[in-house]
């Protein structure tokens, strides 16, 4: 059965989750390096922190003693100036880069990857060259 009709159509991304072993260290990285803002938790639990992008999309960092998801899942975050973002992150001693260069996809979208303090892979990209297809 396929979800169909306006009431069941997915319309956006509310949040992404990342498993972390050290919640404080990971939160500090996301706030200080990536500039994402920490917001109040919307649940009564101290094993996760809620962060939010200017778009309203949230990132939830969840303490998990087992560590990151394997294989490493990732979220992709758009930036206005990918060249500046790449240089800033590549030159930040707190950041472990995965990509040595910015990749260009078939649609012209540009992207690169790096890791947070917990080993989670993060993608930085431009808007897709395809635009909205649905």
| Tens-place pLDDT, residues 44-95 | 999 999 999 999 999 999 999 888 877 778 899 999 999 999 999 999 999 9
The answer to whether position 134 is within a domain reads no
The answer to whether position 41 is within a domain reads yes
- Looking at the structure of the chain, the number of domains it has is 1
Structure confidence at residue 107 (pLDDT): 87
Residue 94 tokens, joined: 């707190």
Parent domain of 90: 15-125
Mean pLDDT, residues 92-112: 93
CATH of the domain at 38: 3.10.180.10
The answer to whether position 6 is within a domain reads no
Say which residue, 130 or 43, is predicted with more confidence. 43
The answer to whether position 55 is within a domain reads yes
The answer to whether position 65 is within a domain reads yes
The answer to whether position 5 is within a domain reads no
The answer to whether position 9 is within a domain reads no
* pLDDT confidence band for 7 (50 / 70 / 90): low
Residue 8 tokens, joined: 């069941």
């Amino acid at each position: 059965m396929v979800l169909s009709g306006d009431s069941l159509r997915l319309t956006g991304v509310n949040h992404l989750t990342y498993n972390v072993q050290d919640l404080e260290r990971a939160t500090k990285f996301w706030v200080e390096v990536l500039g994402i803002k920490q917001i109040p938790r919307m649940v009564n639990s101290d094993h996760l922190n809620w962060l939010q992008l200017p778009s309203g999309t949230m990132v939830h960092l969840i303490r998990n003693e087992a560590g990151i998801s394997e294989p490493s899942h990732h979220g992709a975050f758009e930036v206005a100036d990918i060249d500046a973002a790449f240089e800033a992150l590549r030159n930040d001693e707190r950041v472990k880069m995965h990509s040595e260069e910015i990749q260009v996809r078939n649609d012209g979208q540009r992207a690169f990857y790096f890791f947070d303090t917990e080993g989670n892979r993060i993608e930085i990209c431009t808007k897709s060259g395809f635009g909205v297809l649905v």
